[in-house]
Amino acid sequence: MESWSSSIHLGHITVKRNNQMKKLILSCFAALLTLQAASQQLKTENVIIVTLDGFRWQELFRGADSTLINSAFTKDTSAVKKKFWAPDASSRRKMLLPFFWDVIATKGQLFGNRDLGNKSEVANPYHFSYPGYNEIFTGFPDTRINHNDPTDNPNINVLEFINKQRGFEHKVAAFTSWHIFPSILNQNRSKLLINSGYSDVNLPTASDRLKHLNEIQHKVPELLGPDIRLDFLTYEFGKAYLKQYKPRVLYLAFAETDDLAHEGNYQFYLQSAHKEDGFLKELWDYLQTEMQYKDKTTLIITCDHGRGELSDKNWISHGKDIPGSKQTWVAILGPDTPPTGMVKTKDTIYQKQLAQTIAGLLGFDFKAAAGHPAGDQIPGVFK
């Protein structure tokens, strides 16, 4: 009875509501068409993500640091100076990271040069690895993720989301030096192909190259302990997998920059960053020779946290109590990214924006599907 009478008395409101509903449906439809049109215009069909664990923006934008080169943290000062030292920062950073400065800085975008007022940082309050990688891949700086333990991540990540989209099934893979990634990316739930630490690639169709890597990785000295594979092996595994299986999304997670910094070895920290820059160049050059990847692949490179400032003890570490640890950087290179080079606007981007950016480059909306809060895509990376 009650609803009957209210529909009589409130008849005009019902009509108004119907009109509002029509308007809402029409605007949703228009938004959907715009989204579709935008995704159709994008050239990116593949995304490669690379992380350099705990590598500082200071070395990326300023090159090798003279205070650290001349401190007890550098054993062979003259060797480091010879390889990485020039009086001006722009020459110095090019000596350390030639691919970043010859290619990305001219054809892509670099975020996080605080000397210019452009900032990139983590939104999570912890400033170490699991919370950082969780933020990058789930878009959600979840305060439950406040540890580095091998416990399964409850949050959906963008890699597993993409792996479920049509045309991307079994076309997403991760190769990581640190052994915790199967937990961070919740392999038990996501069923992603994740090869971590000193584990073998056990695919029945694996190439001889992959089988050879399986064999030799157990023969190298475990210089970073049994849980952290040396980065050149992670890279070689990822490259061999890419060549054979042609994934549409590949993630390579390098660890040495963080571990060597913790060991207080500035010479090797620089050397690892330099080698990894070389891996990126080799990978990028290879992509340009393959039909599937050439002019259709976006490369995103970033880190999971920053580390301390110059004062000796702070440089080797990071965490919520060490100033500078939230400071990160992001590099993007691809066919949809305007070649603005070093971003000079006085804005701040956050690692939590990367998940939606990765999905958006492939025409997907991760944020709408994640089931938890997630950052918006980074503005200006693509139209």
Among 206-214, 255-263, 267-275, 356-364, the segment contacting Zn ion (CB under 5 A): 255-263
Among 142, 258, 277, 304, binds Zn ion (CB under 5 A): 258
Between 108 and 131, name the residue whose CB sits nearer to Zn ion: 131
60: left (phi over 0), alpha (psi -120 to 50) or beta: alpha
Between 59 and 160, name the residue whose CB sits nearer to Zn ion: 59
- Nearest Cα residue to 217 out of 208, 227, 206, 229: 229
Q: How far is the CB of 123 from Zn ion (least distance, A)?
A: 18
Between 309 and 336, name the residue whose CB sits nearer to Zn ion: 309
- For residue 243, the number of C-alpha atoms closer than 13 Å in the C-beta half-sphere is 17
Among 13-21, 119-127, 219-227, 250-258, the segment contacting Zn ion (CB under 5 A): 250-258
Cβ within 8 Å of residue 194, ≥6 positions away: 173, 174, 175, 176, 181, 182, 185, 187
Between 303 and 374, name the residue whose CB sits nearer to Zn ion: 303
Chain centroid, CA 334 distance in Å: 14
| Tokens matching residue 106 | 């001219």
CB 361 within 8 A of CB 146: no
Q: How far is the CB of 57 from Zn ion (least distance, A)?
A: 16
Site string for Zn ion, 34-73 (x = CB under 5 A): --------------------x-------------------
Between 236 and 259, name the residue whose CB sits nearer to Zn ion: 259
Between 111 and 178, name the residue whose CB sits nearer to Zn ion: 178
> Is 256 a binder of Zn ion (CB under 5 A)?
no
Q: How far is the CB of 186 from Zn ion (least distance, A)?
A: 22
Site string for Zn ion, 190-229 (x = CB under 5 A): ----------------------------------------
Between 227 and 376, name the residue whose CB sits nearer to Zn ion: 227
Give residues 171-190 in contact with Zn ion (rule: CB under 5 A).
none
**Cβ neighbour number for residue 277 with a 10 Å cutoff:** 22
Which residue has the CB atom at the shortest distance from Zn ion?
A: 258
Q: How far is the CB of 46 from Zn ion (least distance, A)?
A: 30
| Tokens matching residue 300 | 């995103």
CB 112 within 8 A of CB 329: yes
Under DSSP, the state recorded for 292 is T
Under DSSP, the state recorded for 97 is -
Q: Where are the beta strands (DSSP E) in the chain?
A: 46-52, 109-111, 119-121, 172-176, 193-196, 249-254, 297-302, 330-333, 341-342, 348-350
Between 263 and 376, name the residue whose CB sits nearer to Zn ion: 263
Q: How far is the CB of 145 from Zn ion (least distance, A)?
A: 15
Rounded-to-integer distance, Cα 363 and Cα 357, Å: 10
Q: How far is the CB of 298 from Zn ion (least distance, A)?
A: 27
Among 58-66, 200-208, 252-260, 369-377, the segment contacting Zn ion (CB under 5 A): 252-260
SS3 341: strand
Under DSSP, the state recorded for 201 is -
CB 247 within 8 A of CB 301: no
| Tokens matching residue 325 | 């640890």
Between 28 and 223, name the residue whose CB sits nearer to Zn ion: 223
Residues that contact Zn ion, how many (by CB under 5 A):
2
Q: Which chain residues interact with Zn ion by CB under 5 A?
A: 54, 258
